[in-house]
Structure 1
């Protein structure tokens, strides 16, 4: 970065002028949530509060996702562009207004650097199944009426960690949002990091990112201490590569991303005496591959992701056994656009298994076996305004539960 600035004098650059942008997406869904448990419950995760096993839940749900963006840049005399961006969350349910992403970037012939609270390359670079919808997908739960719900597990897919033993003792630490269908390696989130993207050459671009500590927020930490941090994931490395190529009206794309991270160390009190009891979080190794092709208004694409966790022993006898997790997910979709209309269908699956070392105390594990299909149509009203109408069906065979929803979205980008 210093070498890039030093390539030529940069004395007359204009100051950055900040522009305001963002979006608002609202949704209304009629939900038919059937067979809540049907005689089977997750390990230490019973049927959602207020529901009896086998009892149907039908309801109307409202949702919203909104952000305000503050963004600006300036070009120095040496041709290097310097910019900043801040993203203000709108105050979603259970959270106050907060700036969740704040970073700067420096770009030029050398590529682009980003630094600050920003998603890593595992989230920025992947190709996944195309969708006509704004926020309701088969492989995500931003505004999903059948998604993670609240902390009571009221959604069809209750995004809880797999329990290991009575009361959740020794709960399996997941590799990200593995209680849902997720084909994106987005584990590092908005934790402070440094990111680099190469220039695109012959259609190829490489991205790298490093996050020292999952919960580290520079001088404004909310967890851990300023040196190592407690109960965290550390040394998160992400690498990705994308390829783009167009010929005779055909657009091709492919992506591959890889993530590795070290489990952190937790300090705790045992009978009032501080003790280090070992790894509190697992070592992670995740990867995902995706591809897409576009022609004559059609876009076809999909992704496949593998996430593995190694929750090495905490070290307190057999009460905390060694746990291994293997999570796989995939999605595929097709959209067709003509004028202001876009039609589409998307299908996704996820499966998670956990295993335990033979010498440990017998435990129960939470298996995940999810599938979802979503289809519908979107219409562009112009001026950044869009409206969609769709249908989603999903099931979790591990707990014999299924649900469906009719939904509409309305959104504006500005």
Structure 2
């Protein structure tokens, strides 16, 4: 992937694409779909120029931890305390640049630790890029995530934008739920939906992106029959818009971004609504110190007082191969006007012992309004290849 392009963040928007107050004004009735979809077709035609075949690169990561968790328990239940947790991915990227200057690539990510009864393919998409920007087509994160600004953290696998390592049992019962305390979601499962995204080049540190998701689909089989329209539980006509700026002022590094997304909820039942989510973030860096916050608000696809908000404040300090970090997260979930809070406090350190290799250690304390609290100590390593 070209270094000149920032990672893009995804936002979802659940209004009708023709009536949306944002896209409707920008593109007019029925034009948003045509602009995005026909744009991909035109760019694909440009690949007819001759050049060398795609070169294949292999990459990925292994994240492995020993985790001790002192978790509150329901009456009569005894929970495990010591576990091993890991997250492993293998990435395949084929890319070439044509004589015309157009870069063409295909990217596939395999989640090696996926359950045996699930597909290991996590992402599968092609991309086209040039001086005009970049288009992604297929199963890939949308603009809201790819441009999202996250807060500094103690360990990105524990308290980062996406949480990969956690043994928290939020009910204290056998087979209890592990609530995810990350803040990257637009609509349920939206990161895996097939979509088309466009992101601009970076102009003086500024970049914007837009994604369109026709249906809630991540089918890998090109011959799969179309789904029935207006099916309960499905989302369609998703739109994500995002913008991000990175620069420096008087020696202070600044990253700021925001995104909005909406997905139409089909066959709405009483109390259900289109899913609407927005986020914002700010990160400041000076002389090795980092300080920032991130905020996410979603209506959870429900009407009335049923919003969920997530606020994160983090700080870190980088000194050579060593990093110290801390963060605080508050997730407030409203159900029929009744609010419930979960707070997480995390401190940790890491040491880079080689290129793409790091030892990591952290302590996370979770305070839940349901009185099922947890203290988790995690020691592990991440190896990128």
State TM-score, norm by structure 2: 0.81
Q: Which residue of 2 aligns with 1:28?
A: 66
SS at match of 1:135: helix
Q: Which residue of 2 aligns with 1:184?
A: 184
Moved more, 144-153 or 79-88: 144-153
- Larger Rg computed on CA atoms: 1
Report the CA distance shift for 1:3/1:208 in structure 2 as closer, same or farther (over 3 A).
same
Deviations 1:223-282 (A, max 9, x none): 97265655311111100000111244321010101011111138xxxxxxxxxxx58964
In the alignment, is residue 345 of structure 1 matched against residue 353 of structure 2?
A: no
- The answer to whether the 8 A contact 1:185-1:259 is kept is no
In the alignment, is residue 296 of structure 1 matched against residue 287 of structure 2?
A: yes
Distance 1:89 1:262 in 2: 29
- The answer to whether the 8 A contact 1:91-1:97 is kept is no
Distance 1:5 1:87 in 2: 22
In the alignment, is residue 307 of structure 1 matched against residue 330 of structure 2?
A: no
Q: Which residue of 2 aligns with 1:394?
A: 366
- The answer to whether the 8 A contact 2:170-2:372 is kept is no
- The answer to whether the 8 A contact 2:62-2:382 is kept is yes
In the alignment, is residue 137 of structure 1 matched against residue 159 of structure 2?
A: yes
Q: Which residue of 2 aligns with 1:91?
A: 113
Moved more, 246-255 or 116-125: 246-255
Report the CA distance shift for 1:148/1:142 in structure 2 as closer, same or farther (over 3 A).
farther
- The answer to whether the 8 A contact 1:215-1:232 is kept is no
Report the CA distance shift for 1:64/1:249 in structure 2 as closer, same or farther (over 3 A).
same
SS at match of 1:401: coil
Q: How big is the shift at 1:217? A: 2.4
Q: Which residue of 2 aligns with 1:329?
A: 310
Distance 2:173 2:126 in 1: 34
SS at match of 1:210: strand
1:52 to 65, 75, 79: 75
In the alignment, is residue 411 of structure 1 matched against residue 374 of structure 2?
A: no
Unmatched runs of 5 consecutive residues or more in structure 1:
37-50, 160-179, 267-277, 313-322, 357-364
Report the CA distance shift for 1:101/1:81 in structure 2 as closer, same or farther (over 3 A).
same
- The answer to whether the 8 A contact 2:87-2:113 is kept is no
SS at match of 2:145: helix
- The answer to whether the 8 A contact 1:86-1:103 is kept is yes
Distance 1:105 1:351 in 2: 37
SS at match of 1:146: coil
In the alignment, is residue 204 of structure 1 matched against residue 242 of structure 2?
A: no
State TM-score, norm by structure 1: 0.75
Distance 1:16 1:148 in 2: 47
Q: How big is the shift at 1:181? A: 3.0
Q: How many residues align?
A: 344
Deviations 1:170-199 (A, max 9, x none): xxxxxxxxxx43332443111100000011
Q: How big is the shift at 1:296? A: 0.4
SS at match of 1:202: coil
1:261 to 260, 263, 273: 263
Root mean square deviation, CA, Å: 2.9
Counterpart mapping for 1:73-92 below 5 A: 73-92=95-114
SS at match of 1:265: coil
Distance 2:114 2:169 in 1: 15
Q: How big is the shift at 1:200? A: 1.3
Report the CA distance shift for 1:387/1:133 in structure 2 as closer, same or farther (over 3 A).
same
Q: Which residue of 2 aligns with 1:225?
A: 227
Distance 1:147 1:340 in 2: 34
